Amino acid sequence: MLKTPTKQEQTNSYYAATANDSTRYPELKGSERADVCVVGGGFTGISTALTLAERGYKVAVLEANRVGWGASGRNGGQLICGISGEHKLVRRYGPQVADMVWDLRWRGNRIIRERVARYGIDCDLKDGYLEVAIKPRHMKALEEDVEEYQQRDYRGEYRIFDREETRALVGTSAYIGSFLTMENGHLHPLNLCLGEARAASGLGVRIYEQSPVTRIEHKARPLAITEHGQMEADSIVLAGNAYHHLEGRRLSGLTFPAGSFIIATEPLPASLRQEINPRDLAVCTLNDIVDYFRLSADGRMLYGGRCNYSGKVPASIEKSIRPRMEKVYRQLKDYRVEYEWGGNIGIVITRVPLVGRIGKNVFYAQGYSGHGVNVSHIMGEILSDAIAGTMEAFDLFAKMPQVRIPGSQWFGNQLVALGMIYYRLKDLR
């Protein structure tokens, strides 16, 4: 049994400060039942719960802290298609799965857009995402992406830009080119998660906060045990990603937490916003160690990156991130940073999301390697399908071999950190 963790409120982020509401769902006390018990109140858990509720299941969600407390409520807010490691799926299973993987890579974006419209979720959703190139090899990769879009007769808006066109789009000469896709975009992630939770609750999903699960009892109807209660269900979904430690015998050594950090400036003047991001796009570099940035709905620069695997949080996130921001935008050197925060994302060595089942009725999905906004919603649908008995997409991931690093979490993280040194050196080429 795990030691009951300390229950926490939302982190001190820009997103928490501008959340539409503060959730106060009750703590689980006593014994209850559901068709499906979801452990984790982030995107994977809430999206799974909402999908199942839309299909008529009786669902309960157990969250250790608050809805959206982890990476779901702290991330860069970039809505980007794609599944990390998707090329490895095609390489393993062959070209017969290529169409399925291409459709899946867009599915999360479309689920989010459908839900924002259907449930009236106010999460500052904006169209447009720009990948920016720093080196010639980046431009070659973007040109290959354009060729794939053309071959697949992709009907969404997309375009590649040269150096001068890119400079006009992002107000800096730091990049040699870029690739724009308008079906991608950006949003306020915590408000999306909270909005989906409200929608799920409105469909009868019982959500419990401050209810960390300490163990799973595997039975014909398994039990999720908390400090003051238990939930019996036909199926359990483990949706905790980088922050949960359940089922260590099966899952330890497969997913590793990586720290990512963000700063938010004070609101910028309209003239400056027009200079540095006139189309209000989400932007991300093509280095293996990425920087990502965008404007918030109230005109702040949100700038993130500096992913690390050491487990250490910088003494000052601002001092760690600000020089990176000012290297791109000297125009921002005199503007205050009003928020700084970070959190963990789940990284898998193969970069293919970790999906599977323990026994017949405990399912899990985690390890999205930085693509969580989109992929968590894909997995919510895939897990719901699997619970209903449709296993095709589930098996695509579940049968993918994964790499386990034996030993302690600390030891595993140090090995991953050594690997990232290689990628930093690679970025210098």
- Residues 6+ positions from 17 with CB-CB distance below 8 Å: 339
- Judged against a pLDDT cut of 50, whether residue 300 lies above it is answered with yes
In DSSP terms, 158 is beta-bridged to 181
Does the pLDDT of residue 424 top 50, yes or no? Answer: no
Per-residue DSSP letters for 346-390? EEETTSS-EEEEETTTEEEEE--TT-HHHHHHHHHHHHHHHHTT-
**What mean pLDDT comes out for the span 229-254?**
91
Residue 415 has pLDDT above 70, yes or no: no
Specify the 3-state DSSP secondary structure of 96: helix
Share of the chain above pLDDT 70, in %: 92
Please say if the pLDDT value at position 238 is more than 50: yes
Rounded to whole angstroms, the Cα distance separating 414 from 419 reads 9
> pTM higher than 0.85, yes or no?
yes
Which value, to the nearest 10 degrees, does the dihedral of the CA atoms of residues 125, 126, 127, 133 take?
-110
Read off the pLDDT of each residue in 395-414 and give the average, rounded to a whole number. 74
The pLDDT mean for the chain works out to 92
Pairwise pLDDT comparison (288 vs 239), residue with the higher score: 239
User: What local confidence, expressed as pLDDT, does residue 347 receive?
Assistant: 87
Over range 308-326, report the average pLDDT. 85
**Which of 422, 423, 393, 368 shows the shortest CA–CA distance to 78?**
368
Q: Is the pLDDT of residue 417 over 60?
A: no
What is the per-residue pLDDT across 81-115, written as a single tens digit (0 to 9) for each?
A: 999 999 999 999 999 999 999 999 999 999 999 99
Confidence at 426, pLDDT banded by 50, 70, 90: very low
Residue 412's pLDDT is 47
pLDDT for residue 269: 98
| pLDDT confidence band for 46 (50 / 70 / 90) | very high
| Per-residue model confidence (pLDDT) at position 311 | 62
Alpha carbon distance 135, 366 (integer Å): 32
At 265-285, the pLDDT tens digits run 999 999 999 999 999 999 999
195 pLDDT tier (thresholds 50, 70, 90): very high
Q: How many helices (H) and strands (E) does the chain have?
A: 13, 17
Beta bridge partners of 303: 263, 293
Model confidence at 175, pLDDT cuts 50, 70, 90, reads very high
Residue 370 confidence (pLDDT): 84
Give the pLDDT band of residue 427 (cuts 50, 70, 90).
very low
More confident of the two residues 345 and 376: 376
Asked if residue 240 has pLDDT above 90, the reply is no
Q: Are strands 292-295 and 301-308 parallel, antiparallel or unpaired?
A: antiparallel
pLDDT at 411: 46
pLDDT at residue 33 is higher than 80: yes
**Does 242 score more than 60 pLDDT?**
yes
3-state secondary structure of 285: strand
| Residue 132: pLDDT band with limits 50, 70, 90 | very high
Q: Examine the pLDDT at 308 and tell me if it is beyond 90.
A: no
Residue 314 tokens, joined: 């910088």
41 versus 257: which is more confidently predicted? 41
Q: What pLDDT shows up at residue 1?
A: 54
